[in-house]
């Protein structure tokens, strides 16, 4: 016969499972199919009538795409120890991965590239990106949501700021849905929403854009760019899962000449 503490643990896991299933907008039947089990068993787990094993919890977490940092909590709520380590990027064990990030940024030179974490803090930046975004000013690398949305320099520097900010806000809203319970992300979302609401909208002209990327005002020119992102694959550690590398490419010859010149002056 299960003890009260075991029943409480199971009911806690059931609540967590239902919580993640609702976030992912899945029915019990859909989740069961994705995890290789039955909807009846999912129902029993959610109501605390069945005790899932460790491997079943891992399968459910995979199916629900639960972030790595939250999977240990999911396991703990069912009475199991955590399976997923968490390190700081500066830890010795992370050296090969830190080097991979640095190599990617350096390899992208002479064009700008930078790495951010899940709350949009700048983790690493290459000299070309530092020259483009900060130059010789007193501005320092920080949080890109706070820096881009606050009134001032970047609103003037980015010619299509409203479009870029709107797209970044859409991405931030998706992050908050996919990463529930992160107070820092929620605070950044509220700040971004407030700032964009107070800003004057821009009217889009011409055909819909294939991709929304920043265009920078430099003296009397507009520098058009293309952005791409890269992440680690098949990650089982939360810090690495949350690293995102943003790379910037020139969109035309004028942008290429400008970025090459900028990079040559950044050394």
Question: Per 3-state DSSP, what percentage of the chain is helix, strand, and coil (rounded to 5)?
Answer: 55, 10, 35
Kind and range of the H or E element at 132? helix 127-133
- DSSP secondary structure letter of residue 158: B
Q: Is the pLDDT of residue 28 over 90?
A: yes
Residues 138 and 216 in one domain: yes
Domain co-membership, 199 together with 98: yes
> Which of helix, strand or coil describes residue 44?
helix
Which of 52-66, 119-133, 158-172, 206-220 is the least confident region?
206-220
Whether residue 85 is contained in a domain is answered as no
What are the tens digits of pLDDT across the range 147-194?
999 999 999 999 999 999 999 999 999 999 888 878 999 999 999 999
How far, in Å, CA of 259 to CA of 130, rounded? 12
> Do 54 and 174 reside in the same domain of the chain?
no
Spatial separation of the C-alpha atoms in residues 54 and 60, rounded to whole Å: 10
**Residue 132 lies inside a defined structural domain of this protein:** yes
Which residues are CB-neighbours of 157 under 8 A, at least 6 positions away?
A: 216, 217
Domain of 251 in residue numbering reads as: 92-264
Of 94, 91, 135, 96, the C-alpha closest to 112 is 135
Number of structural domains the chain divides into: 2
Tell me if 128 sits within 8 A of 259, measured CB to CB.
yes
Do 64 and 120 lie in a common domain?
no
Residue 37 placed within a domain: yes
Contact 128, 262 (CB under 8 A): yes
Cα(79)–Cα(53) distance, integer angstroms = 10
Give the pLDDT band of residue 204 (cuts 50, 70, 90).
low
Phi, psi of 222 (to 5 degrees): -115, 120
CA distances in angstroms from 108 to 218, 226, 228, 237, listed in the order given: 22, 13, 11, 25
36 and 147 housed in the same domain: no
User: Is the predicted pLDDT of residue 55 greater than 90, yes or no?
Assistant: yes
- Asked if residue 226 and residue 134 are part of one domain, the reply reads yes
Q: Is residue 86 part of a domain?
A: no
Backbone CA torsion sign across 171, 135, 250, 196: positive
108 and 45 part of one domain: no
Residue 267 has a pLDDT of 59
Residue 206 has pLDDT above 80, yes or no: no
Q: What per-residue confidence (pLDDT) applies to 6? A: 43
Distance CA(70)–CA(76), nearest Å, equals 10
In CATH, what number is assigned to the domain containing residue 62?
1.10.260.40
Q: Pick the last residue of a domain from 53, 77, 101.
A: 77
| Exposure b/e, 90-121, CB count within 10 A at least 16 = b | eeeebeebbeebeebbeebebbbbbbbebbbe
Please write the tens of the pLDDT for every residue from 129-147. 999 998 877 778 899 999 9
Alpha helix segments (H runs only) across 136-232? 144-149, 153-157, 161-178, 183-198
Residue 199: band (very low, low, confident or very high) from pLDDT cuts 50, 70, 90: confident
Q: How many CA atoms lie within 13 A of 175 on its CB side?
A: 22
Q: Are residues 226 and 116 in the same domain?
A: yes
Residues 124 and 206 in one domain: yes
Within a domain: 159: yes
- The pLDDT of residue 5 is above 80: no
Q: Which of 44, 77, 110 is the last residue of a domain?
A: 77
Question: Which of these three, 12, 46, 77, is where a domain ends?
Answer: 77
Strands 215-218 and 221-231 turn out to be antiparallel
């Amino acid at each position: 016969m299960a003890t009260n503490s075991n029943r409480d643990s199971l009911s806690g896991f059931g609540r967590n499972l239902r919580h993640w299933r609702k976030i992912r907008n899945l029915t019990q039947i859909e989740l069961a199919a994705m995890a290789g089990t039955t909807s009846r068993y999912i129902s029993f787990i959610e109501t605390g009538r069945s005790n899932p094993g460790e491997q079943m919890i891992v399968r459910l977490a995979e199916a629900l795409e639960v972030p790595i940092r939250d999977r240990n909590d999911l396991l703990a709520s069912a009475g199991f120890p955590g399976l997923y380590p968490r390190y700081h990027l500066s830890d010795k064990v992370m050296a090969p991965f830190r080097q991979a990030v640095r190599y990617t940024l350096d390899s992208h030179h002479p064009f700008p590239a930078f790495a951010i974490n899940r709350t949009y803090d700048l983790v690493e930046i290459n000299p070309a990106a530092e020259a483009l975004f900060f130059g010789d000013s007193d501005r320092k690398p920080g949080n890109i949501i706070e820096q881009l949305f606050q009134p001032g320099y970047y609103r003037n520097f980015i010619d299509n700021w409203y479009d870029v900010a709107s797209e970044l806000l859409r991405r931030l809203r998706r992050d908050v849905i996919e990463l529930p319970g992160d107070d820092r992300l929620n605070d950044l979302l509220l700040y971004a929403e407030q700032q964009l609401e107070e800003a004057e909208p821009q009217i889009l002209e011409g055909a819909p854009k294939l991709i929304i990327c920043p265009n920078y005002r430099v003296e009397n020119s507009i520098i058009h760019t293309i952005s791409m992102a890269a992440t680690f694959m098949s990650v089982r550690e939360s810090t690495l899962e949350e690293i995102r590398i943003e790379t910037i490419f020139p969109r035309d010859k004028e942008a290429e000449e400008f970025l090459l010149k900028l990079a040559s002056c950044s050394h």
